[in-house]
């Protein structure tokens, strides 16, 4: 059974416990993951924003409500456009585990998971020329009040 390595565990420091539990359940189900980034400092977010790697200074990473993960082991080609099916597979697996946890009351309350592949939560295809595709990104969606 896959487990998080030392670096992944360190990157989960400050991340919402609901996301950590979800990722642990994914490992339990056999999805081998590595954590690329968890909670960010404002300085790190500013740098990513200035480099064009983030489009907002209101990232859920700043509050520990987002994490970037990838299937392990990674390959350099994983970042290429032709690797989108791999990211869809990973995101679908994570969404499926989240749904099971909700169904069995394991989620510490009801909350919505949002992925960087399907920001609006409606699988309506991708406009690759216009969309921010962030395959590794998952977050607890902000609740609208």
Annotated domain spans of the chain: 6-140
Contact between 37 and 60 (Cβ < 8 Å): no
Find the mean pLDDT for residues 3-19.
97
d(CA 24, CA 113) in angstroms, rounded, equals 15
- State residue 122's pLDDT score: 59
Contact between 32 and 71 (Cβ < 8 Å): yes
Judge: domain 6-140, CATH 3.30.1380.10.
yes
Contact between 37 and 68 (Cβ < 8 Å): yes
CB atoms within 10 A of CB 133: 15
The pLDDT-based confidence of 10 (bands split at 50, 70, 90) is very high
Kindly report, residue by residue over 20-78, the tens digit of the pLDDT: 999 999 999 999 999 999 999 999 999 999 998 888 999 999 999 999 999 998 877 77
Kindly report, residue by residue over 74-127, the tens digit of the pLDDT: 877 776 666 778 888 999 999 999 999 999 988 777 889 988 887 766 555 554
């Amino acid at each position: 059974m896959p487990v998080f390595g030392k670096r992944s565990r360190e990157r989960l420091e400050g991340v919402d416990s609901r996301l950590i539990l979800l990722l642990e359940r994914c490992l339990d189900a056999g999805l081998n993951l590595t954590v690329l980034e968890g909670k960010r400092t404002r300085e790190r977010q500013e740098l990513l924003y200035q480099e064009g790697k983030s489009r907002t200074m209101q990232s859920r990473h700043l509050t520990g409500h987002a994490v970037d993960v990838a299937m392990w082991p990674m390959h350099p080609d994983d970042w290429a456009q032709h690797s989108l099916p791999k990211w869809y597979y990973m995101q679908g697996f994570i969404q499926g585990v989240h749904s099971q946890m909700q169904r069995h009351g394991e989620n510490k309350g009801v909350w919505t998971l949002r992925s960087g592949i399907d920001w609006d939560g409606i699988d309506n295809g991708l406009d690759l020329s216009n969309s921010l595709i962030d395959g590794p990104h998952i977050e607890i969606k902000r609740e609208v009040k």
